[in-house]
């Protein structure tokens, strides 16, 4: 089963850049989108038409901002559209769904984690969001679920995860408090799937829109699938699809139960 995650930086914008053609070609079993920046009533007929997927939309209350969506080829069970606290849920950042796979059910938390902001004014909020996410995810694990959290985590974890680590130590997404908050996940047993499978490889999932940056591959790896240890034996692969255009992020893929 192939789980994809993609921050599309506006689902209407990416639709104009070939999103549905990519969907038909890539054929993900499950696709979590982040930063959709739209409500269903703002979407055109192409995005709302029958295209072989069951879709869950979770827009932000604020128009044109944040929001997530979930596409799946097979029917799925919706467990929640949020983390159970209004301060985290009015921006439409989370969907939690259960999917049937060959090896058993998988619970996918699809999430667009907050950005710390250029002036770092939202770092505390972001780290509190991380902590609340761990409470919710670990509660699911305690219930016997096999959990994966996929999405834009908005933090480059280690120096290997961005091009210019020394120049960005005070930049949102690589400050020490943000990295410390992400450190708590492996300490609790969670596994960064791509990094576990590609321990020395330098590959990125986000690039600035400044001219020439993506062409020179000056990027950050901030899109992840973090896998609970109970699910890890079922993981068969992880891929960064950095050749896919249409957004300032690229899709990332987790393969479960299949070769």
Q: Which residues are tagged catalytic? A: 152
Q: Starting at the edge strand that comes first in sequence, how are the strands of the sheet with 77-80 ordered?
A: 77-80, 94-101, 104-112, 147-152, 223-227, 191-192
Angstrom distance (rounded) from CA 57 to CA 160: 34
SS (H, E, C) the chain: CEEEEEECCCHHHHHCCCHHHHHHHHCCCEEEEECCCCCHHHCCHHHHCCCCCEEEEECCCCCCCCCEEEEECCCCEEEECCCCCHHHHCCCCEEEEEEEECCEEEEEEEEECCCCCCCCCCHHHHHHHHHHHHHHHHHHHHCCCCEEEEEECCCCCCHHHECCCHHHCCCCCCCHHHHHHHHHHHHCCCEEHHHHHCCCCCCCCEECCCCCCCCCCCEECCEEEEECCCCHHHEEEEEECCCCCCCCECCEEEEECCC
- Contact yes or no for 56/78 (Cβ under 8 A): yes
* Token pair for 196: 């576990």
């Amino acid at each position: 089963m192939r789980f994809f995650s993609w921050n599309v930086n506006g689902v209407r914008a990416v639709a104009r850049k070939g999103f549905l053609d990519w969907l038909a070609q890539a054929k993900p079993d499950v696709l979590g989108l982040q930063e959709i920046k739209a409500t269903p009533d703002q979407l055109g007929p192409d995005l709302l038409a029958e295209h072989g997927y069951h879709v869950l939309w979770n827009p932000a209350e604020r128009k044109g901002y944040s929001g997530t969506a979930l596409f799946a080829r097979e029917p799925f069970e919706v467990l929640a559209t949020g983390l159970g606290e209004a301060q985290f849920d009015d921006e439409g950042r989370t969907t939690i769904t259960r999917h049937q796979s060959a090896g058993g059910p998988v619970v996918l938390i699809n999430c667009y984690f907050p950005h710390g902001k250029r002036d770092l004014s939202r770092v505390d909020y972001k780290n509190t969001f991380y902590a609340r996410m761990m409470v919710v995810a670990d509660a699911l694990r305690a219930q016997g679920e096999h959990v994966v959290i996929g999405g834009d985590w908005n933090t480059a974890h280690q120096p290997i995860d961005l091009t210019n680590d020394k120049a960005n130590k005070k930049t949102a997404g690589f400050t020490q408090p943000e990295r410390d908050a992400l450190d708590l996940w492996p300490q609790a047993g969670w596994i960064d799937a791509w990094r576990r499978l590609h321990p020395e490889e330098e590959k990125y999932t986000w690039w600035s829109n400044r001219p020439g940056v993506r062409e020179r591959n000056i990027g950050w790896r901030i899109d992840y699938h973090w896998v609970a240890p109970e699910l890890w034996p079922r993981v068969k692969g992880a891929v960064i699809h950095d050749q896919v255009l249409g957004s300032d992020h690229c899709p990332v893929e987790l393969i479960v139960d299949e070769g």
